[in-house]
Structure 1
Amino acid sequence: MGYDLNRFQGDVDEELVCAICNGVLEDPLQAPNCEHAFCKNCIQEWISRQPTCPVDRQHITSGQLRPVPRILRNLLSRLSINCDNAQHGCTSMLKLDTLARHLEECEFNPKRPLPCESGCGLIVPKDELKDHNCIKDLRGLVLQQQQKLMEFQQDLTEQRINTNELKKELQLLKDFMRAMKISNPTMRAIADAMERDEVVRWSNTLTRARVTRWGGMISTPDERLQRMIKRVLSEIGCPSHIIDDLMENCHERRWPPGLCALETRQNNRRQYENYVCKRVPGKQAVLVLACDNAHMSEDMMVEPGLVMIFAHGIE
């Protein structure tokens, strides 16, 4: 619906009047060919009943409607209109394009939000302040929040159930692929490719890390430290088919020839800077995955990669 003509100061050009509601155009749209303009709500409701222009009956659809030209919008914005709250005492005359901003701040707006001055701190519409009861409304607010919390917890439970079901289905699929991989050479190649792709996708989700003190490397981590790192890898989605291998490779007994002894590690220290390392969140440890380090020589890399744990020096 358009703006009531009686609210405007002076005469309003008929080109600015909606032919459907006979009010001044509000959020106007125009027909594509005849260019007749109407209020957005008016013309959309009209077209929902009969897809024709209300003035000349040319066929139009809702998707064909387009914004009116800027010159028409400028003419509308310059019209002077009284405030929506004139009946409540506001005497302001405003340019149409400033009306919305004025209504947000108009002191005569009965729905203007005001803080309760009795101490509860709630924001209440102006016309409801006289009937506002702090205790009653606070209790109602608490009940609303409790209801929202219950709904959130229910949604969270449902999501966890769905996630667990998806994990079970994924595990079944992986088990099936492994079985096929053993019995069928073609399926073996497909399964291997899928597993490689899964590792690459996971690696792309990890944050790059920089080692500043390679001398802080722990080459023989104890079981407690290994369990801690393994738990973190599981939490960040490490593919199940490589997690055990990665953890085995955190000890120097499984490291490649270029790292397997203190002397060789010292001789190859310059090559460390070429490693692409990914951070193990919250720990002084990095992942050096084979998929990220194809540029490294065979004596510096093993499949599916290394877990390097440090006493310090990870950024």
Structure 2
Amino acid sequence: MGFELNRFQGDVDEELICPICSGVLEEPLQAPVCEHAFCKTCISEWISRQPTCPVDRQNVTSAQLRQVPRILRNLLARLQIQCDNVQYGCTRVLKLDTLATHLEECDHNPKRPLPCEQGCGLIIPKDELTDHNCVKELRALIQTQQQEFNELRFFIAEQRREMQLLKDFMRAMKTSNPSMRAIADAMERDEVVRWSSSLQRARVTRWGGMISTPDDVLQRMIKRTLTEMGCPIHILNDLMENCHECKWPPGLCSLETRQNNRRQYENYVCKRVPGKQAVLVLHCDNTHMGEDMMVEPGLVMIFAHGIE
């Protein structure tokens, strides 16, 4: 619907009037052949009932509507209009093209979002502040978030179940059909490569801070984070087993060998484990490393400090 004529100062050219609602054009569109202009809402509703131009009845569809010429848009933009909130006390008269920006900041806008003055931290429309109940609103917010959390948890559980079914299927196929083994292995490798490409690089500044025998609590924490990162299920347990020095390759399996091979550490391509002093060193990223410094599907290295 267009803007009401009585809101404008001075005369408004007839070319700027919508033939359907008789208001000043709002978000104008025009027919492709006859070039008659209409409000976007007006012409869209009209065409949904009958695909013709309301003025001369030429055939027209929604897909054929196009933007009006710039000169027409400029004429509309220069019109002087009263603020929508004149009934609430606003006396501003401004150019039409600045109306939307003004309405967001207008002190008289009853729907202007304001912070609750009682301290709950919620942003409330101005006309609802008087009846606002912090306890009621916060309770409703918590219930909504709890519902969303439950839905997300159910979705994640379903995704894990489907992934496990797929994993079991692929394992069964590899066992029963040798020709499928290579295909399944390739699919699993591709999944790891795609996951790795989504991770951020990390830099280890203090290799001496490496924890070679992380305790169970620390391992569970890292495993939970890897799960949240979308780590492919078929490598998750293997990665976690490889966070302990007993599963490390020969070049890392003892303090002495780690000290002797320290210069080689800088050649590792490490991926970040968000929020943790740990990195992923995946085999697919480190094919340049020798067998004495790398294992399949990769290593999880946990540090006391020194990760950037």
Settle same-fold status: TM greater than 0.5. yes
Identity %: 70
Is 1:242 aligned to residue 235 of structure 2? Answer: yes
- Give the paired residue count: 300
Q: Find the counterpart in structure 1 of residue 153 from structure 2.
A: 160
Which residues of structure 1 form unaligned runs of 5+?
none
1:177 is aligned with what amino acid?
A: M
Deviation at 1:273, TM superposition (A): 1.0
Distance 1:175 1:231, change over 3 A: farther
Contact map agreement 2:103 2:109 (CA 8 A) in 1: no
Contact map agreement 1:246 1:304 (CA 8 A) in 2: yes
Q: TM-score, normalised by structure 2?
A: 0.80
Q: Distance in 2 between matches of 1:287 and 1:88?
A: 60
* Partner secondary structure for residue 294 of structure 1: coil
Partner of residue 228 from structure 1, selected from 194, 218, 226: 218
* Partner secondary structure for residue 222 of structure 2: helix
Deviation at 1:32, TM superposition (A): 0.8
Q: Find the counterpart in structure 2 of residue 32 from structure 1.
A: 32
* Partner secondary structure for residue 234 of structure 2: helix
Which residues of structure 2 form unaligned runs of 5+?
none
Q: What pairs with 1:1-315 in structure 2 (closer than 5 Å)?
A: 1-82=1-82, 84=84, 93-101=93-101, 111=110, 124-125=126-127, 132=130, 137-139=131-133, 142-219=135-212, 221=213, 225-226=215-216, 228-237=218-227, 238-315=231-308
Q: Distance in 1 between matches of 2:158 and 2:113?
A: 49
Distance 1:210 1:47, change over 3 A: same
Q: Distance in 1 between matches of 2:306 and 2:89?
A: 70
Give CA-to-partner distance per residue, 1:43-76, whole Å, 9 cap, x none: 2222122111122211111121112111112222
Distance 1:211 1:103, change over 3 A: closer
2:42 is aligned with what amino acid?
A: C
Distance 1:242 1:75, change over 3 A: closer
Distance 1:148 1:252, change over 3 A: closer
Contact map agreement 1:106 1:112 (CA 8 A) in 2: no
Q: Which structure has the larger Rg over C-alpha atoms?
A: 1
2:21 is aligned with what amino acid?
A: C
Distance 1:290 1:80, change over 3 A: closer
2:181 is aligned with what amino acid?
A: R
Q: Distance in 2 between matches of 1:90 and 1:191?
A: 69
Give CA-to-partner distance per residue, 1:100-156, whole Å, 9 cap, x none: 45556667x58475989xx7587643xx89xx5xxxx243x5334423422332232
Contact map agreement 2:18 2:37 (CA 8 A) in 1: yes
Tell me the C-alpha RMSD between the 2 structures.
3.4
Distance 1:34 1:182, change over 3 A: same
Contact map agreement 2:277 2:306 (CA 8 A) in 1: yes
1:236 is aligned with what amino acid?
A: L
